[in-house]
Amino acid sequence: MNPLDHAAHSALTGPHAQFAEHKGNVLRYPTDMSPFVALPPSPSEGDWLDLAALAPHAAVTGHEPPSGWEIEGRLPLLQYVGEDLAAAQEPAAVRLGAADVPEMMALAELTRPGPFLPRTIEMGAYLGIRRDGRLVAMAGERLRVPGYTEISAVCTHPDARGQALGTRLLLAVAHGIQERGETPFLHVLASNAGAIRLYEKLGFRLRLSTELLILTHSEAA
């Protein structure tokens, strides 16, 4: 099985195992780091019960829930891999740290690139570009699985768009991933046609079509 088939599970049982909270075979990130949970590749009835106890409100991919779960949303999701990506360093990029988190969260709240929480920055390296001292663009690493690292939180302030800052940071993050001997990958909503065109132009290859399911256990509804 390719570790990207169940990326959250591969991360929480591999390079991100130090973050894993678990009940039985079900794993999750701390709730202030990431909303993702990880069921085993072939979850049993008992695994679903453990998920209900560990995370009655959950975001999962690759699994249809049994009775007792309500599907609050279905988001078609595409997984792209950058095996032949022409990554490059970005001279204007700065490494972001804990002191930058309030600005990073504000930028993510404004631009909605996906979940970004107070401890998300602990998942990997994050780069940003500042203009007049203000953070106007960022990108970073999220899921780390054996041999691969996910690029996430690529976003640019509306005042700084049209300068390819997000693309430049994406390629800079990818460069750091490649320097470790790993392959960058990312996820994108199937409805985001503009981002998909950009990723394919940069050299990302579609690997997997799946769904992100937003679930609530009936006892927690």
Structural domain 80-209, CATH architecture? 3-Layer(aba) Sandwich (3.40)
The CA distance from 16 to 176, in Å, is 18
Rounded to the nearest integer, the mean pLDDT of the chain is 96
Same fold, 3-76+210-220 and 80-209: yes
Q: How far apart are the first and last CA of the chain?
A: 34
Spell out the domain ranges in the chain.
3-76+210-220, 80-209
CA distance 131 to 160: 9
pLDDT of residue 221: 61
Residue 124, amino acid: G
Residue 141 has pLDDT above 70, yes or no: yes
CA-CA distances (angstroms) from residue 39 to 9, 36, 135, 150?
A: 7, 10, 36, 19
Q: What is the DSSP letter of 36?
A: B
Quickly state the pLDDT bin for 103 (edges 50, 70, 90).
very high
Please give the model's pTM, rounded to 2 decimal places: 0.95
- Pick 3-76+210-220's CATH classification: 3.40.630.30, 3.50.50.60, 2.60.40.10, 1.10.3720.10: 3.40.630.30
Dump pLDDT digits (tens) for 152-182. 999 999 999 999 999 999 999 999 999 999 9
Q: How does pLDDT run across 13-51, given as a tens digit for each residue?
A: 999 999 999 999 999 999 999 999 999 999 999 999 999
Task: Give dist(CA 208, CA 186) in Å, integer.
Answer: 11
